[in-house]
Structure 1
Amino acid sequence: MDQNFTVSAKTAVRTLRRDLAALGLDVNHSAALELLAHQAGFRDWNTATASATGPAGQLGAPVPVLRVQDGAAALEFYTAVLGFTCLWEHRFEPDLPLYARVRRDDAELDLSEHCGDGTPGTAVWVPVRDVRELRRELSPRLDPRQFPGVEDDAPGGPTTTVLDPFGNSLRSCER
């Protein structure tokens, strides 16, 4: 099963619930997850998500945690400027710090206002197929003073770096 099953499945569940509601059928989120798992050939949702992670002990892709001081500004930057999609947001209470996950293509990042999460100024290496194309896409939305050109002689291959408003570096590198 695809590693991205749970993310795409949750999107599919929202669509399923909306479409069923338009037909006058009210299905709660949990029941919709079970229906989707059955359609994919699994006994239940827990079995479907367990199979998405692979065999016991198999590692999945890591998700870096970036420390941000302003969750709203971070989500605005990562979505509107960098083109990520917010997968989910969490707060233990309305006035407590934000913890959110964003995704663009295969890259997932967690953004956290929690003091103990992440270190300000973290660098994350992000592989890209065409670093120059990414730079062309992002250039109109970024301050040119903080968005250098492409370093062709970088150790991992041609690289460009984006700084977020909190000093974290996203180093996009073409292998």
Structure 2
Amino acid sequence: MLFRPRLMASLHAVPLPLAQGVSAFLFRQILERHSGLFDRLGAFKEKRFAFVPTDLPFSFLVDPSCKTTKAVRKSHPITADATVEGPLALLLALAEGRVDGDALFFSRRLAVTGDMESVIALRNALDDCDIDIAEIIANAAGPLHPMLRSLMVSIRKQALTSEGLSWN
């Protein structure tokens, strides 16, 4: 069980350009596979969303109208219409639609501030997409796909287990 704390601690040494590159890559891959993701936001498509992993030194700003994401150090304030804050494992599980966001919010494991309606619209859009981040990352590995997919699924399962949840 020491794997996750060591992994998370090592992420504090990650340079901002690398965090930006990885987040932009994942974002592009998700939009390629789910091109209509932001169409379901309707009027909320103009809203900007901040995601703040409590266990990372970065925050991420998503702008659906421009279809962009930006990583920033937490010491750098960002302006967003809505902010979702919580452990990285829970934020990723929400993106994949594999956990009950309402239950996490009401149990105070996630904090949501700002425009709640836009967050609900985004959650509903994500729930219909069946995003698989482990598969997206593994696809980038070419012939190492099966091995990397297995590793990513194992890390994902361990991360949620450490949060007291199981993957749906």
Q: TM-score, normalised by structure 2?
A: 0.25
Bigger Rg over Cα: 1
Higher relative contact order, structure no. (Cα contacts within 8 Å, ≥ 6 residues apart): 2
More helix by share: 2
More strand by share: 1
